[in-house]
Structure 1
Amino acid sequence: MKVGFIGLGIMGFPMASNLIKAGYDLTVYNRTIEKAEKLKGAKVARSPKEVAENSDVVISMVTDAPDVEEILFGENGVVKSNKRGLIFVDMSTNSPEFAKKTAKRLSEYGIEFLDAPVTGGDKGAREGTLTIMVGGKESIFKQVEPIFRAMGKTIIYVGDVGSGQALKLCNQVVVALNMVAVVEGLLLARSFGIDDEKLFTVLSTGAANSFTVQYYLPKIMKGDFEPGFKAAHLKKDLKYALEIANSKSLPLLGTSLALQLYNAMVSIGMGEKGTQGLIKVYEKMISK
Structure 2
Amino acid sequence: MKVGFIGLGIMGFPMASNLLKAGYDLTVYNRTIEKAEKLGKMGAKVAHSPKEVAEVSEIVISMVTDAPDVEEVLFGENGVVKSNKRGLIFVDMSTNSPEFAKKVTKRLSEYGMEFLDAPVTGGDKGAREGTLTIMVGGKEDVFKRVEPIFKAMGKNIIHVGDVGSGQALKLCNQVVVALNMVSVVEGLLLARSLGIDDDKLFSVLSTGAANSFTVQYYLPKIMKGDLNPGFKAAHLKKDLKYAMEIANSKSLPLLGTSLALQLYNAMVSLGIGELGTQGLVKVYEKLVK
When normalised by structure 2's length, the TM-score is 0.99
Displacement after TM superposition at 1:174 (Å): 0.0
Displacement after TM superposition at 1:34 (Å): 1.1
Counterpart secondary structure, 1:150:
helix
- Tell me the residue number matched to 2:177: 175
Partners of 2:91 and 2:35 in 1: CA distance = 21
Displacement after TM superposition at 1:185 (Å): 0.2
- Tell me the residue number matched to 2:251: 249
Q: Point out 4+ residue stretches in structure 1 off by more than 6 angstroms.
A: none
Displacement after TM superposition at 1:23 (Å): 0.3
Output one character per residue of 1:122-163: Cα deviation in whole Å (capped at 9) or x when no partner: 000000000000000000000000000000000000000000
Output one character per residue of 1:19-56: Cα deviation in whole Å (capped at 9) or x when no partner: 000000000000001110001x1000000000000100
Displacement after TM superposition at 1:175 (Å): 0.0
Partners of 1:34 and 1:189 in 2: CA distance = 44
Output one character per residue of 1:247-269: Cα deviation in whole Å (capped at 9) or x when no partner: 01100000000000000011111
Partners of 2:167 and 2:178 in 1: CA distance = 16
Displacement after TM superposition at 1:246 (Å): 0.6
CA RMSD of aligned residues (A): 0.4
Counterpart secondary structure, 2:104:
helix
Partners of 2:103 and 2:242 in 1: CA distance = 15
Counterpart secondary structure, 2:116:
strand
- Tell me the residue number matched to 2:209: 207
Partners of 1:159 and 1:15 in 2: CA distance = 23
Partners of 2:56 and 2:13 in 1: CA distance = 19
How many residues end up aligned between the 2 structures?
A: 286
Partners of 1:269 and 1:124 in 2: CA distance = 27
Counterpart secondary structure, 2:286:
helix
Counterpart secondary structure, 1:205:
coil
Partners of 1:272 and 1:283 in 2: CA distance = 17
Output one character per residue of 1:58-115: Cα deviation in whole Å (capped at 9) or x when no partner: 0000000000000000000000000000000000001000000000000000000000
Partners of 1:158 and 1:248 in 2: CA distance = 21
- Tell me the residue number matched to 1:31: 31
Output one character per residue of 1:181-214: Cα deviation in whole Å (capped at 9) or x when no partner: 0000000000110000000000000000000000
Partners of 2:200 and 2:269 in 1: CA distance = 33
Partners of 1:109 and 1:165 in 2: CA distance = 23
Partners of 1:94 and 1:2 in 2: CA distance = 26
Partners of 2:269 and 2:248 in 1: CA distance = 24
Matching residue within 195, 198, 201 for 1:196: 198
Output one character per residue of 1:211-247: Cα deviation in whole Å (capped at 9) or x when no partner: 0000000000000000000000000000000000110
- Tell me the residue number matched to 2:138: 136
Q: Are 2:4 and 1:4 aligned?
A: yes
Counterpart secondary structure, 2:16:
helix
Counterpart secondary structure, 2:78:
coil
Counterpart secondary structure, 2:127:
helix
Name the % identity. Answer: 90
Partners of 2:118 and 2:272 in 1: CA distance = 27
- Tell me the residue number matched to 1:268: 270
Q: Are 2:284 and 1:282 aligned?
A: yes
Partners of 2:225 and 2:124 in 1: CA distance = 18
Counterpart secondary structure, 2:275:
coil
Displacement after TM superposition at 1:8 (Å): 0.1
Displacement after TM superposition at 1:275 (Å): 0.3
Structure 2 unaligned residues grouped into runs of 5+ = none
Counterpart secondary structure, 1:175:
helix
Partners of 2:34 and 2:211 in 1: CA distance = 40
